[in-house]
Amino acid sequence: MIRIDQVWMAVEPLDMRAGADTALARVVRVFGAAHPHHAYVFANKRANRMKVLVHDGIGVWLVARRLNQGHFVWSNDGHGTVSLTHEQLDALVLGLPWQRIGQAGIISLV
Identify residue 17 by its one-letter amino acid code: R
pLDDT for 50 equals 96
Low-confidence stretches of the chain (pLDDT beneath 70): 76-79, 102-110
E strand spans, the chain: 6-10, 38-43, 49-55, 60-66, 81-84
Q: How far does Cα 20 stand from its chain's mean position? A: 14
| pLDDT given for residue 106 in this prediction | 45
In tens, the pLDDT along 2-11 reads 899 999 999 8
21 sits in which H/E element: helix 20-31
